[in-house]
Amino acid sequence: MAQDDHSGAELAAADSSHAAHESVASPGTALVATDTFENPGFPPHRPRVTDEDPKRERRAQRTVYTLFYLSIVGSVWAIAAYMLIPIESNDVDAVRLNNMFIGLGATLALLGIGFGAVHWAKAVMVDVELADERHPVGGSRETQAAAAQVFADADRESGFSRRSVIRNSLIGALIAFPLPAIVLFRGFAPQDQDPVALLNHTMWKQGTRLALDPSGAPIKASDVTIGSAFHVIPEGLSDLEHGKLEEKAKAAVLLMRLEPSELNELPERASWSYDGIVAYSKICTHVGCPVALYEQHTHHLLCPCHQSQFDVANHCEVIFGPAKRPLPQLPIAVDDEGYLVAQSDFTEPVGPSFWERH
Partner 1 sequence: MSTATSPNGTQQKPSFTTAASVYVNERTSVAGFVKELGRKAFPDHWSFLLGEVALFAFVVVLITGTFLTFFFQASMAEVHYDGSYVPLKGVEMSVAMASTLDISFDVRGGLFVRQMHHWAALLFIAGIGLHMLRVFFTGAFRKPRELNWVIGFVMFILAMGEGFTGYSLPDDLLSGNGLRIIDGMIKGMPLIGTWTSFLLFGGEFPGTAIVGRLYTLHILLLPALLVALVALHLVFVVVHKHTQYAAPGKTQLNAVGPPILPTYAAKAGGFFFIVFGVLALIASLFTVNPIWNYGPYDPSPVSAGTQPDWYIGFADGALRLIPPGWEFVWLDRTWSFNILVPLIALGGFIVAAMLYPFIEAWVTGDKREHHIADRPRNNPTRTAIGAAGVTFYAGLWAAASSDILATHFSLTMEGVIHALQATVVIGPFIAYFIAKRVCIALQKKDREIVLHGYESGRIVKLPGGEFIEVHQPLDEYDRWKLVSYESYQPLMLRPNARGKITVGQRVRAAVSRWFFEDRIAPVTKRELEAAHSSHHDAAELEAAPSSQH
Contacts of partner 1 in 149-168 (CB under 8 A): none
Stretch that binds partner 1, among 49-57, 163-171, 267-275, 298-306 (CB under 8 A): 298-306
Q: Is the peptide bond before 190 cis (omega within 30 degrees of 0)?
A: no
Listed residue (269, 212, 250, 265) closest to 345, CA to CA: 250
338 binds partner 1 (CB under 8 A): no
316 binds partner 1 (CB under 8 A): no
Listed residue (338, 316, 319, 341) closest to 329, CA to CA: 316
Q: Which of 130, 181, 182, 270 binds partner 1 (CB under 8 A)?
A: 130
Question: Order of strands across the sheet with 229-234?
Answer: 210-212, 229-234, 253-257, 277-281, 329-330
* CB contact at 8 A, 299 and 257: no
Restricting to residues 165-204, name those near partner 1 by CB under 8 A.
185-186, 188-190, 193, 195-196, 198-199
**Identity of the residue, 13 or 171, whose beta carbon is nearer to partner 1 in the bound complex:** 13
Q: Which of 53, 153, 155, 246 binds partner 1 (CB under 8 A)?
A: 246
- The residue length of the chain stands at 358
**Identity of the residue, 4 or 52, whose beta carbon is nearer to partner 1 in the bound complex:** 4
Strand, coil or helix: what is 91?
A: coil
Q: Which of 61, 228, 343, 353 binds partner 1 (CB under 8 A)?
A: 353
DSSP summary character for residue 320: E
**Identity of the residue, 113 or 313, whose beta carbon is nearer to partner 1 in the bound complex:** 113
117 binds partner 1 (CB under 8 A): yes
Question: Order of strands across the sheet with 293-295?
Answer: 293-295, 300-302, 309-311, 317-320
32 binds partner 1 (CB under 8 A): yes
128 binds partner 1 (CB under 8 A): yes
Size of the site for partner 1 (CB under 8 A): 129
**Identity of the residue, 155 or 356, whose beta carbon is nearer to partner 1 in the bound complex:** 356
User: What is the crossing angle of helices 54-84 and 92-119, to 10°?
Assistant: 160
120 binds partner 1 (CB under 8 A): yes
Q: Which of 50, 60, 116, 311 binds partner 1 (CB under 8 A)?
A: 116
Q: Which positions ≥6 away from 116 have C-beta within 8 Å?
A: 63, 64, 65, 67, 68, 71
- Compute the distance between CA of residue 108 and CA of residue 77 in angstroms, rounded to an integer: 9
**Identity of the residue, 40 or 54, whose beta carbon is nearer to partner 1 in the bound complex:** 40
**Identity of the residue, 257 or 286, whose beta carbon is nearer to partner 1 in the bound complex:** 286
- Least CB distance to partner 1 at residue 26 (A): 4
Restricting to residues 266-285, name those near partner 1 by CB under 8 A.
282-284
- Compute the distance between CA of residue 161 and CA of residue 167 in angstroms, rounded to an integer: 7
Q: Which of 304, 335, 338, 347 binds partner 1 (CB under 8 A)?
A: 304
